[in-house]
Amino acid sequence: MPRFSIVVPSHGVAGRLSLALDSVLAQSFGDFELIPVCDAPDAPAADVVAGYAERDSRVTPVHSPPSDGLAGARNTGLRAAVGGHVLFLDGDDVLVPGALAALDARLEETGEVDVLYVEHERTPWWEGEPANPAAPLLARTPDGAFPPDRAPRLTGVALPAWSALYRRAFLVDQNLAFPGEHYTDIGFGGLVTLRAERVAVLRAVVVRHLLRRQGNRLALPGEHHTELLDQCELVLARAAEQGLSAERLSPLFEQLFAAVLKTAAHPRRLTSGRRAFFRRASALYRRHRPAGHRTPGGSLGVQHRLLASGSYPAFRALRAANRTASRAAALLPRPRGLRTRLRYALGLRLPLDENLVVYCAYWGRGYVCNPAAIHAKARALAPHLRAVLLVEPDAVGSVPPDVEYAVIGSRKYWQVLARAKYLVNNANFADAVVKRPGSVHLQTQHGTPLKTMGADQATYPVVAAATGSIARLLARVDRWDYNLTSNRHSTEMWERAFPSTHETLEYGYPRNDVYCTASAEDVARVRKELGVPDGKKALLYAPTHRDYATGFETGLDLAEFCEAIGDEYVVLLRAHYFYDQGPNRGGGRIIDVTGHRSSEDVCLAADALITDYSSIMFDYANLDRPIVVYADDWDVYRETRGVYFDLMELPPGRVAQTPEELAAVFRDGSWADETATSLRATFRERFCQFDDGRAAERVVRRVLLGEPPESIPPVVPLAERVPAPAATLVRS
């Protein structure tokens, strides 16, 4: 039997789960079992956990459906535990180094106890000083093991479940489990302390609680706050059954109603039913108030007295008086120009147009990428919707004649933004755009992240300087309702890079649908449009942007490269979209396709891809055609830009680091040999999970038509997909 069982619920924290698991497995004390609780075998967290379970036999994952909530996940982990003591660790928290050794040493000092309370550190997600809220409470307790009567203020309800270690036999014998769904820590903590006979404390930080940017889920508005009263009533009723002494009951009562009053006074938590909540709390207060209980002083004491008397109008007036001044300034729209600002403000007062969809791609570059693919599918599945594409003035000419558009900054632009029900973008709308209640913002993204993104860029000075204010970026992220991903890697990285409350849709990228639906005739047509000679192998060279460089530099002499590999090849040069307005760099066997509207067309035309660190490799992999990585400055790029994984350890094909090596892999055929094919197969399994040709349909049905998740077409397995055929290669 292991000394400790560590239960780690993982719902909604796949992007940070590895931090929690690593913090446990790195402990110097190794006598433990680690029980991650995943939603289901195919959930995002399950993919993360599976790797740990393969590498370490102490990791034993179990499953609990999301509908059972945090309480259900913890109870499932508790039932699976076999260790002597149980520690509950949230999936986005970490054990400090030496934590388990400290717990073991403390138990040796105190002997067996039912509960060992510990300190924890609350660490701000971005900046600010860490806090240790448990320290003052534990400082006033006896030094050794003691009965709870000797520390009446240690009620259990003021500490989270992960701020204590529990003897498993005690929990089982007393039939103790996490109650309800919300505020379960209050109910569990109170019941545990009421039943415990022998407890102790460890005055040292054991758990580092990493505060989420989007805040505690309990701070969100909704009817779930009434469950706080359920938990309070459960604990107080149990205390009455035990005949708890007044000395212990009074601090328990105060701590429970401190939480109740905090919720009752918070205007954004209880969006409805505030009066009913107050009345029920008032009845509960009067029924369980200890004899001789003295109300606290100050404003809190006034709230206690109003609650005891059931005077909701007076309580509401007090709450309004204590509220800080105006909050309207933050919502004021700020487009340029007084007239435009007034028109936009007026538009925001009009009802939403339930059938209006606004699309934008790459800050207005045209009818491209995921927004364009979604628009095309919506025409077939939701023809009642009116669509307006936002474009910059110089991109108007590239808009198809049957697509309605609005020039960015124009009067029409602000009109449609003010009233659109749906807003679809692969980047972000302007800061001045207001997220209206009832509107739906879909972030489609425009690639799979190899390089760091969002908040993760903050530690890389060159990138952070170019990105601008991370706070402003995350304010834009807060407008998202849905965020699209094409693989589990993206799901995890977006959660880290863009922490907010949006829902992740693992539907694939709509722009990549064409890689599974295009025919040989489509490929031939595109090659003809681009000027690829018949019978020639087309190599797409697509380098990415360098944050530390100014202007576009290929890093490769393409003329010399073409000369070195023979005349059976031509090169399609596609620079990063930052440089699509530059001069033509083509000529001879080099065809400049940078300005071509569709990167998908260019990929269809290419028999193989040469890239450095561009995200185009993840999209191109859906075609199951050879990919060669030209990594001439990988170390500089990795240190300057930051990356999420080592591309040299997991490449999609052959890797070359000099022009000579790159030419050699094409001369000797290794660019398409068995080794290259095997590397590509492994890469595809990880990064081509959801791109099956039906991503756009899934998005339209779920987001624009509001169909339930269970009715959305499932993802076709990778082995069953048939990618578009290449022009000159025969796929094995």
Question: Can you give 448-460 as a three-state secondary structure string?
Answer: CCCECCHHHHHHC
Q: What is the pLDDT of residue 267?
A: 67
pLDDT tens readout for residues 339-380: 777 888 899 999 999 999 999 999 999 999 999 999 999 999
Confidence check: pLDDT of 325 > 70: no
pLDDT tens readout for residues 210-248: 887 766 767 677 788 889 999 999 999 999 999 999 899
Q: What is the pLDDT of residue 215?
A: 67
pLDDT tens readout for residues 114-150: 999 999 998 877 666 788 889 999 998 999 999 999 9
- Residue at token pair 């913002």: 441
Strands 199-210 and 94-95, bridge-based pairing: antiparallel
Which DSSP category does 645 fall into? S
d(CA 406, CA 410): 7
d(CA 215, CA 615): 31
Which range, of 190-204, 224-238, 460-474, 505-519, averages the lowest pLDDT? 460-474
Q: What is the pLDDT of residue 473?
A: 84
d(CA 637, CA 661): 19
678 burial level (CB within 10 Å; 0-12, 13-18, 19+): exposed
pLDDT tens readout for residues 289-308: 998 888 887 777 888 888 88
Q: What is the pLDDT of residue 538?
A: 95
Where is pLDDT greater, at 272 or 381? 381
Those residues whose C-beta lies under 8 Å from the C-beta of residue 596, and which sit 6 or more positions away, are 530, 574, 602
Q: What is the pLDDT of residue 673?
A: 95
Those residues whose C-beta lies under 8 Å from the C-beta of residue 243, and which sit 6 or more positions away, are none
Q: What is the pLDDT of residue 334?
A: 56
Phi, psi of 85 (to 5 degrees): -135, 150
**pLDDT above 90 as % of the chain:** 67
Q: What is the pLDDT of residue 275?
A: 87
Q: What is the pLDDT of residue 468?
A: 62
Which DSSP category does 408 fall into? T
Q: What is the pLDDT of residue 547?
A: 65
Q: What is the mean pLDDT of residues 49-67?
A: 93
- Residue at token pair 């939603």: 39
Region at 681 (left for phi over 0; alpha for psi -120 to 50; beta for the rest) = alpha
Where is pLDDT greater, at 86 or 19? 86
Q: What is the pLDDT of residue 542?
A: 92
Using 50, 70 and 90 to split pLDDT, how confident is the model at 462?
low
Closest CA to 89 of 2, 182, 207: 207
| Mean of pLDDT over the chain | 89
Confidence check: pLDDT of 549 > 70: no
**Bridge partner list, 86:** 5, 166
Using 50, 70 and 90 to split pLDDT, how confident is the model at 455?
confident
pLDDT tens readout for residues 560-604: 999 999 989 999 999 865 444 444 444 578 999 988 888 999 999
d(CA 192, CA 292): 26
What is the Rg, in whole angstroms, of the alpha carbon atoms belonging to the chain? 30
pLDDT tens readout for residues 95-108: 999 999 999 999 99
Where is pLDDT greater, at 152 or 266? 152
Confidence check: pLDDT of 271 > 80: no
- Residue at token pair 């903050």: 458
**Bridge partner list, 357:** 387, 422
| This model's pTM is above 0.85 | no
Q: What is the mean pLDDT of residues 57-65?
A: 94
Cα 666 to the center of its chain, rounded Å: 40
Q: What is the mean pLDDT of residues 42-48?
A: 85
